[in-house]
């Protein structure tokens, strides 16, 4: 028989579930608004990267770019892997998916006899690798939610310096590509060395264009900015993917909370009905006992 204590407990559980549902619904709405902002940031950053590439391609027609330190391909012995994860959780399988690609990349490189150096953006990735005994040589937090060019520059500069000094022979960038609100795919991109083919097909600059500094000097300045733009693009894509994953996860949590609350309400109503039936039976039984005694 259901008692008053059980009913009170069920009411408390229902209130708790309803409170959780309000929180998850609010988080879902916040994530939805941030997806649109992140998409606008991706689109706003794209012309910057395209213009840098076009200028380098135009300069490459009359100048040699293959000798730049960031374009020199060599036999890979030491490899750096930059992994883009999030600072916060509650984003579904977002971090798990990108970490799977990172782990696979690490296994492939180590199987080929190469030494892997790990760089991680986001607290979740840093904690994941630290727990497994593979601490990152450098980790960044506070830039994954709203990436900026300054944050991307710090990440890019850390690996460009060591690649230029030949401490690294290859740099992979592992991030999540935002394709739509429903589809986000973890991918890996070879960040360094930059492929000379990326600057092919350019149009020579007009003769009246005067460069300060010189064309080769301008190339030396722009190629690192091009690498920074690619890192910024990856961070922006990852941020949009994180918000989309969080929105879906919170929507699912809200729906699950509604189902749990409805189930508990049915159990509570059944318990109240049993209690009322029992009380009525006791009253009827008492009345019959009194009438028999008279």
pLDDT tens digits along 85-113:
999 988 989 999 999 999 999 999 999 99
Q: What CATH fold (topology level) applies to the domain 31-248?
A: Pyruvate Kinase; Chain: A, domain 1 (3.40.1380)
Helices 215-293 and 149-164 cross at an angle (nearest 10°) of 120
pLDDT number for residue 126 = 95
pLDDT value at residue 151: 93
Residues 230/84, Cβ–Cβ less than 8 Å: no
Mean pLDDT, rounded, for 255-283: 83
List, for residues 166-213, the tens digit of each pLDDT value: 999 999 999 999 988 889 999 999 999 988 888 776 565 555 555 666
Check: CB of residue 275 under 8 Å from CB of residue 7: yes
- Choose between 37 and 79: higher pLDDT: 79
Q: Are 231 and 173 in contact (CB under 8 A)?
A: yes
Question: Kindly report the CA angle at 258 between 253 and 261, in degrees rounded to 5?
Answer: 120
Helix axes 4-60, 215-293, angle to 10 degrees: 170
Strands of the sheet with 170-178, listed across from one edge: 138-140, 115-121, 78-84, 170-178, 184-192
What does the pLDDT read at residue 56?
77
- Round to whole Å and give the CA distance between 102 and 120: 10
Q: What is the pLDDT of residues 8-33, one digit of tens each?
A: 888 888 888 899 889 999 988 988 88
d(CA 149, CA 232): 6
Q: Which residues of 47-59 are buried (b: 16+ CB within 10 A; e: fewer)?
A: ebbeebbebbbbb
E strands, the chain, are: 78-84, 115-121, 138-140, 170-178, 184-192
Most confident of 93-107, 212-226, 269-283: 93-107
Phi-psi region of 139 (alpha: psi -120 to 50; beta: other; left: phi over 0): beta
Active site (annotated) includes residue 23: no
Decide: 82 and 155 in contact? Cβ < 8 Å.
yes
pLDDT at residue 43, as a whole number? 84
Domain locations along the chain = 31-248
Q: What is the pLDDT of residue 197?
A: 80
Rounded to 5°, the CA angle 86-145-244 comes to: 75
Is residue 217 pLDDT above 80, yes or no?
no
DSSP code of 114?
P
Q: How far is it, in rounded angstroms, from Cα 229 to Cα 251?
A: 33
Catalytic position from the list 38, 79, 84, 159: 84
Instruction: Let me know if 78 is exposed, middle or buried by CB neighbors in 10 A (0-12, 13-18, 19+).
Output: middle
Q: Is a pLDDT exceeding 50 seen at residue 1? A: no
| Structure confidence at residue 243 as a pLDDT band (50, 70, 90) | very high
pLDDT for 178 equals 92
Phi, psi of 122 (to 5 degrees): 110, 140
Considering the entire predicted model, what is its pTM? 0.83
In tens, the pLDDT along 117-165 reads 999 999 999 999 999 999 899 999 999 988 999 999 999 999 999 999 9
**Ranges of H-type helices in 68-134:** 94-111, 123-131
Closest by Cα among 27, 36, 17, 22 to 181: 36
């Amino acid at each position: 028989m259901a008692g008053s204590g059980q009913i009170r407990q069920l009411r408390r559980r229902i209130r708790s579930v309803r409170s959780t549902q309000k929180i998850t619904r609010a988080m879902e709405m916040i994530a939805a608004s941030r997806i649109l902002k992140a998409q606008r940031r991706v689109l706003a950053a794209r012309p910057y990267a395209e213009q840098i590439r076009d200028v380098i391609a135009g300069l490459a027609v009359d100048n040699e770019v293959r000798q730049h330190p960031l374009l020199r391909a060599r036999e890979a012995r030491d490899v750096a892997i930059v992994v883009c994860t999030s600072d916060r959780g509650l984003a579904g399988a977002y971090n798990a998916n990108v970490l799977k690609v990172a782990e696979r990349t690490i296994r492939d490189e180590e199987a080929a006899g190469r030494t892997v150096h790990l760089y991680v953006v986001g607290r979740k990735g840093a904690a994941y690798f630290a727990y497994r005994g593979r601490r990152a040589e450098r980790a960044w937090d506070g830039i994954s939610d709203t990436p900026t060019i300054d944050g991307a520059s710090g990440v890019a500069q850390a690996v460009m310096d060591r690649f230029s000094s030949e401490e690294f022979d290859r740099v992979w960038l592992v991030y999540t590509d935002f394709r739509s609100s429903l589809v986000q795919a973890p991918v890996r991109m070879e960040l360094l060395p930059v492929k000379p083919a990326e600057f092919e097909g350019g149009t020579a600059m007009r003769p009246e264009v005067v460069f300060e500094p010189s064309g080769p000097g301008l190339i030396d300045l722009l190629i690192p900015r091009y690498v920074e733009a690619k890192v910024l693009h990856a961070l922006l894509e990852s941020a949009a993917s994180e918000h989309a994953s969080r929105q879906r996860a919170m929507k699912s949590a809200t729906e699950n909370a509604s189902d749990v609350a409805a189930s508990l309400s049915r159990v509570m109503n059944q318990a109240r009905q049993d209690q009322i039936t029992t009380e009525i039976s006791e009253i009827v039984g008492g009345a019959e006992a009194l009438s028999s005694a008279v």
